[in-house]
Structure 1
Amino acid sequence: MLRVGIDVGGTFTDLYAWDEEASGSRKVRMSKVLSTPNDLVSGFMNALSEAEIPPSEISTIIHGTTVGTNALIERKYPEPALIATEGFRDTIEIGRQSRSHLYDPYAVKPSPLVSRDKRFTVSEKLGADGKTVKPLDREGAKQVAEQIAQRGIKNIAITFINSYVDGRHEQEMRDIILEVIPDAKIALSSETRPKMRELGRFVTTTIRAALFPVIGDYITRLEKALKDSGCTAPLFIVKSNGGMMRASTAKERPEEMIESGPAGGVAAGSFMYNMLGLENMIITDVGGTSFEASLVEKGQGLITDEYELEWEMPIITPMLDIRSIGAGGGSIAWIDDGGSLRVGPKSAGADPGPVCYGKGGTQPTVTDANLVLGRLNSTLSGKFELDKEAAIQAIKTVAEPLGLSVIDCAEGIVEIACENMADAIRMVSTDRGRDPRDQTYVSFGGAGGLHAFGVAQSAGINRILIPSFVGVDCATGATTMDVRHDVESAFYQPVNGINTNKLTEAFTKLEEECAELLENDGISSEDMTFERVALMRYIGQSYEVATPVPDGPINEDTLPEITEAFNREHKREYGVSNESFPTAVVTLRVTGHGKTEKPKDNDFQTAMGPNSQEGISSVKERRDVYFRGEKHTVEVHDVSRFREEQEITGPAIIEHPNSEIVVPPDAFANIDQYGFINITINKTINEPNKEVLS
């Protein structure tokens, strides 16, 4: 039976399948097909067909998708109704009154998730201690419910101030709505994320309500297509926290899918840590539309508690700290008003795609530039024929106004794209107190191998690792995931004088909630493990640091251990700590893991490692490739013909079924027992081009 991971991206849909019963090379199946933006389910099923996988032979499907993210960014969802406490109607639009660009007088804030005419208020208020200040106005609440019913709105968010302490008023409001609209789908902020600071809680709850119909419809159609094909396997959805959940759970918690696709890449990085023991990795993924970067330390992706979808739109569910920018193979090159060459963030996507695809694209892209430079196979690894002449003509449209040759302009396009990607690496490393020079650059994505050397060199990283599943990495990572749920509750108390019995009871209650979620996703009690975390801060600070808390009963002897852990985490995150400052607990979190079957190292080595015999050359052809304006006739290697520990001196090209890997001049590459390609870059190469592209 097959454990299948499928990741639907903006340009390609990737599949990686692991046969739990087969042996040798038949253990692994991969496919990469163009996404179908108008009907993503079709692309999903096409990937199964391309990999020749009978749906009846699938044991589990794990699916990563950006359906929710795209719907939010493009505002393509049935607009929900929002009900807030009187006086807080405009919280999600006002935000924190900060500016994304301090000195830009023309800055425009993103449009709110819900337009003002669909935002309602009712009279009620709880104090910060949970006591009733003003009871819910039931008559006013009923009038609001009737107004919403008259508009035909079925997805509703309820966001009352201070409900993070006690959700009884929100629950009361929900009951009133259901009397008027029995089939309404309602999100309560006290159940979505009961945490302090209303903006994040209001936004996250609104997102849940907005995505109810989007995710519900998509998953329902996907489940039907799988059932009609004869597939009876359970469907899991990749979560933003690096775990997965049943599709039925995803319909109820859609806000946990915001970084669903890229999270698979982080899971692949964690899997590689278990294989190779690399403690510090920067995981990158270059697709057709976007570039994602994240850090994996000792096998764990870094978690953020406030991810911003857009400026002033914080999502406060625990998520992997993945930074995405609009840079990929489909990123469009253009000239700005100042006469400078720019690349992205707009992308040609899958339709029409780069000019060289011959599907109607007219604007030059990064893929077109790589083809012109000879770095890209003209058949895209046998998928279809690329039109190099069309790519040349497209690049001329920006090269000629700049007074550049086509080759110089193409190199400029690639260099600018690489610099943009390097900026995202600095966001997840330097911005969080990590030195990128201490990391191994792990390159994922179909376009990852083309740009790995340029991005790594710009970021100051000299070791590159490209796995044997490059191009379908997020799908691969999905097959290695555990079920994971994070549950939280507000618990503000200074550590000095904290009630340890209540603290223990609160953690125990969260563990019970987490166990119920895991059980609903089919996890048995013996396969469950739990981690405790307290979000803590020095008293007077505004934001918290996640601090590990030991299992079992918490007593006075445990508190110094927790405080010491907080100081350690604070210093790692910010570079400073002070043991004399008093500390406070703000929020409690329990993370539950549900263990699943995973590939074993020796099986992976047999299926994906090099197996070519001595005497068989890996060189399949020679090709003209440009580096720094100079033409080199380089050897093109077929990765399937590599021998273990074979070394390659650049310049060279390594062709992979799902990617093209560039080894620049003065760089060296070798392959390990797992089929992973290690590239070491000479620090002196790829120096910035001094020519001003203007």
Structure 2
Amino acid sequence: MFRVGVDIGGTFTDLYAWEEDSPSTQAVRTAKVLSTPEDLSIGVMQALASAGIRPDEITNIVHGTTVATNALIQRNYPDPALITTQGFRDVLEIGRQRREHLYDPYQVKPAPLISRRNRFTITEKMGADGSTVTPLDEDELRAKAEVIRDRGIRSIAVALINSYSSGEHERRVREILTEVIPDAAIALSHETSPKVRELGRFTTTAIRAAMLPVVGDYMNRLEEKLAEEGSTAPLYIVKSNGGMMSADNAKDHPEELIESGPAGGVAAGAYLSRLLESPNVVVTDVGGTSFEAALLENGRGLVTDEYELEWEMPVVVPMLDIRSIGAGGGSIAWIDSGGSLRVGPQSAGAVPGPACYGRGGTAPTVTDANLVLGRISPDLSGKFALDTAAAEKAVSTVAEPLGMSVAEAAEGILTILSENMASAIRMVSSDRGRDPRDYAMVAFGGAGGLHAYETAKSAGVAKIVVPPYAGVACAFGAITMDIRHDLEGTFYSPLEGVDIAAFNSELSRLEGRARELLERDGADSSTAVVDRFAAMRYVGQSYEVMTPLPAGELTEDSIETIKHSFFKEHEREYGVYSEDFAVAVVNLRVTAVGSTGRTDIDSSANASGGTGGAPSKREVFFEGEFVEVDVYGPGTLSDDASIAGPALIEQEHGAIVVPPQAKAETDRYGNILIESK
């Protein structure tokens, strides 16, 4: 029986399966198939078929998906409505009134998630202390509910001002909406994100409302396909926070899937961090359309609640701090109005794909450049034939205007791409006050190993690790996950003089709800690991620092411990702290992690198991000329092999470039370790 991880990307759908009852050397099956944008669930079934796994052989399936993210970015979802308090109709458009580009007079804000004609205001108001300031006008609400019903809208966000302090009015709004529109899907802001600051709460609730029908429809179709083929296994979905939840919970909480796909890569990085006893790593993932980078400290991904879907669209649910840019194998090279070569963020995606795929693409892509330079094989390691002539023709469209040879232009494309990816690493590290030189880089993605050395060199990272499952790393990471739920709530109080009883009561409430969610997902809440945090700041500051809280019942003696923990975290994030200013608590968070009782993956199953056979030869372009280099195919490298560049290492679902100035070694797990000579 198989434990299956699946990850859907813009170009490929990846699968990694672990056969729990087999000897370790036979336990792994993988697949990489083209994604099916017309119905992404078809790609999942094709990946299972490619791996030779019948749905009735699955014990559980963990699925990372970009369904929610893509639908939001493309605004491809049924029209939702918003009901809010009078005077707050345009919060989604006004935002924070900041400029993304300070000196660009032509910048335009992204389209709002809910159009203005479908945003309705009602008479009501709750106070910041949870008291009723203005009663809810129920007759007015019913009249507007009828308008929403008559427009055919069946997904509604309810975001009332100050509802984080009391959800009484929002719950009554839901009752009335359900009477008028019985089949409505309704998202309440105090249930979605009960935190102070209305923009983040309104936006996150709008996302939930918009995604309820999209994610629900996709999950239902996938479950139906699996059931039709005989599967009775539970379906789990990768969450943005680095854990997983049941498909039923995912249908109710689609806002927690924004980074579902990349989160699998962070989980794979955490597994590798433990395996190699390397606590601090930067995880990178080069896919077909995007590049992601994330930091792990002490084997755990850094979490943020300041993520922005787009400019001025904050998503205030805890999620891994993953930075994404448009840079991948399908990224298109082009020449700007100033005559400079650029790469991305536009991508050829799965359809039509790079020119060399022979599916109708004509624009020069990163994959075309790698093929022209000989860095990937013309048969894509046995998957399907690539059209070298079409790649050369595509790259020539940028080479000729620049007065360069096709090979020189292709090398330039890869250099620019590597610099773009290095900037993402610097961004995710410098924004958190970290130095990338203190980290090892783990390179994931089918194209991760192709660009790992140049990207790491530019970012200042000395050590690179490319695991044997790099090409399907997000799918691999999915099956290493535990169920995880993060619950938050507003609890504003100066730390000095805080009501300890109320403090403990709110933490207890959040923990109880987290354990309920674990039980709903099939985990044993009695064995769960529960961590507690407080979002804290100096009085007068605008942003908070997440601070760990002591375990157990808090007492007056705990206050000093909490204060010094805040000082430590503030110094870590900003480089400074002061004991002279008053400290306040703003929000509380409880993180609960529970296991489904699965067996651990045997890491020896990832070993290379190579024969140490002789490499083949290929002409590859390095530093301005084609040179003959050794090419080590899948399964040819033995453990503890040492390779001096230039060389190529081909894996089942990817390839690794070892340039002339680098060397590579293998370890007993089949990992490729790269560093300068």
Report the TM-score range of the alignment, normalised by the length of the smaller protein: over 0.9
What's the counterpart of residue 312 of structure 1? Answer: 312
Aligned residue identity for 1:670: E
Q: SS where residue 661 of structure 1 aligns?
A: strand
Aligned residue identity for 1:201: R
Q: 1:599 to 1:273 in 2, by over 3 A?
A: farther
What's the counterpart of residue 31 of structure 2? Answer: 31
Q: Which runs of 5+ in 2 are unaligned?
A: none
Aligned residue identity for 2:399: A
Aligned residue identity for 1:630: E
Shift of 1:55: 1.1
What's the counterpart of residue 112 of structure 2? Answer: 112
1 CA distance for matches of 2:165 and 2:585?
A: 14
2 CA distance for matches of 1:286 and 1:31?
A: 17
1 CA distance for matches of 2:597 and 2:654?
A: 28
Q: SS where residue 223 of structure 2 aligns?
A: helix
1 CA distance for matches of 2:599 and 2:456?
A: 29
Q: Check whether the contact 1:650–1:663 (CA below 8 A) recurs between aligned residues.
A: yes
Of residues 607, 610, 619, the one that matches 2:608 is 610
Q: Check whether the contact 2:629–2:648 (CA below 8 A) recurs between aligned residues.
A: yes
Aligned residue identity for 2:546: A
2 CA distance for matches of 1:293 and 1:450?
A: 16
Shift of 1:39: 1.2
What's the counterpart of residue 677 of structure 1? Answer: 672
Q: Check whether the contact 1:481–1:596 (CA below 8 A) recurs between aligned residues.
A: no
What's the counterpart of residue 624 of structure 1? Answer: 619
1 CA distance for matches of 2:136 and 2:118?
A: 20
2 CA distance for matches of 1:41 and 1:344?
A: 27
1:8-19 matches, cutoff 5 A: 8-19=8-19
Q: Check whether the contact 1:618–1:639 (CA below 8 A) recurs between aligned residues.
A: no
What's the counterpart of residue 547 of structure 1? Answer: 547
TM-score of the aligned structures, taking structure 1 as reference length:
0.96
1 CA distance for matches of 2:412 and 2:383?
A: 27
Of residues 641, 651, 657, the one that matches 1:646 is 641
What's the counterpart of residue 690 of structure 1? Answer: none
2 CA distance for matches of 1:48 and 1:23?
A: 21
What's the counterpart of residue 691 of structure 1? Answer: none
Shift of 1:132: 1.2
Q: Check whether the contact 1:651–1:666 (CA below 8 A) recurs between aligned residues.
A: yes
Shift of 1:525: 2.8
Aligned residue identity for 1:654: I
2 CA distance for matches of 1:489 and 1:396?
A: 56
Is 2:152 the counterpart of 1:157?
A: no
2 CA distance for matches of 1:599 and 1:171?
A: 42
What's the counterpart of residue 686 of structure 1? Answer: none
Q: Check whether the contact 1:306–1:316 (CA below 8 A) recurs between aligned residues.
A: yes
Aligned residue identity for 2:657: V
Deviations, residues 431-454 of structure 1 (Å, cap 9, x unaligned): 211111111111000010111111
1 CA distance for matches of 2:610 and 2:197?
A: 59
Q: 1:599 to 1:400 in 2, by over 3 A?
A: farther
Deviations, residues 203-247 of structure 1 (Å, cap 9, x unaligned): 000000000000000000000000001111000000000000000
Q: SS where residue 624 of structure 1 aligns?
A: strand
2 CA distance for matches of 1:608 and 1:367?
A: 27
Q: Check whether the contact 1:618–1:638 (CA below 8 A) recurs between aligned residues.
A: no
2 CA distance for matches of 1:579 and 1:618?
A: 64
What's the counterpart of residue 366 of structure 1? Answer: 366
What's the counterpart of residue 563 of structure 2? Answer: 563
Q: Check whether the contact 1:480–1:597 (CA below 8 A) recurs between aligned residues.
A: no
Q: SS where residue 617 of structure 1 aligns?
A: coil
Aligned residue identity for 1:147: V
Q: Check whether the contact 1:242–1:263 (CA below 8 A) recurs between aligned residues.
A: yes
What's the counterpart of residue 480 of structure 1? Answer: 480
1 CA distance for matches of 2:95 and 2:594?
A: 37
1:366-385 matches, cutoff 5 A: 366-385=366-385
TM-score of the aligned structures, taking structure 2 as reference length:
0.99
Shift of 1:25: 2.0
2 CA distance for matches of 1:674 and 1:557?
A: 48
What's the counterpart of residue 348 of structure 2? Answer: 348
Q: Check whether the contact 2:522–2:596 (CA below 8 A) recurs between aligned residues.
A: no
2 CA distance for matches of 1:551 and 1:48?
A: 43
Q: Which runs of 5+ in 1 are unaligned?
A: 683-694
2 CA distance for matches of 1:187 and 1:369?
A: 46
Shift of 1:542: 0.6
Q: SS where residue 431 of structure 2 aligns?
A: helix
2 CA distance for matches of 1:25 and 1:119?
A: 58
What's the counterpart of residue 146 of structure 1? Answer: 146
Shift of 1:600: 4.3
Q: Check whether the contact 1:479–1:598 (CA below 8 A) recurs between aligned residues.
A: no
What's the counterpart of residue 688 of structure 1? Answer: none
1 CA distance for matches of 2:50 and 2:3?
A: 16
* Identical-residue share of aligned pairs (%): 60
What's the counterpart of residue 656 of structure 1? Answer: 651
1 CA distance for matches of 2:170 and 2:645?
A: 63
Report runs of 4+ in structure 1 exceeding 6 Å deviation.
none
1:247-396 matches, cutoff 5 A: 247-396=247-396
Shift of 1:580: 1.9
Aligned residue identity for 1:617: G
1 CA distance for matches of 2:305 and 2:600?
A: 32
2 CA distance for matches of 1:500 and 1:415?
A: 57
Q: 1:125 to 1:64 in 2, by over 3 A?
A: same
Is 2:74 the counterpart of 1:79?
A: no
What's the counterpart of residue 240 of structure 2? Answer: 240
Q: Check whether the contact 1:480–1:599 (CA below 8 A) recurs between aligned residues.
A: no
Of residues 622, 631, 634, the one that matches 2:629 is 634
Aligned residue identity for 1:205: T
- How many residues are aligned here? 677
1 CA distance for matches of 2:91 and 2:534?
A: 27
Q: SS where residue 554 of structure 1 aligns?
A: coil
Q: SS where residue 536 of structure 2 aligns?
A: strand
Shift of 1:144: 1.2
2 CA distance for matches of 1:608 and 1:196?
A: 46
Q: Check whether the contact 1:327–1:344 (CA below 8 A) recurs between aligned residues.
A: yes
What's the counterpart of residue 224 of structure 1? Answer: 224
What's the counterpart of residue 527 of structure 1? Answer: 527
2 CA distance for matches of 1:56 and 1:507?
A: 42
2 CA distance for matches of 1:38 and 1:69?
A: 16
1 CA distance for matches of 2:599 and 2:470?
A: 17
Q: Check whether the contact 2:524–2:596 (CA below 8 A) recurs between aligned residues.
A: no
Aligned residue identity for 1:437: R
Q: Check whether the contact 1:538–1:584 (CA below 8 A) recurs between aligned residues.
A: yes
Q: Check whether the contact 1:618–1:642 (CA below 8 A) recurs between aligned residues.
A: no
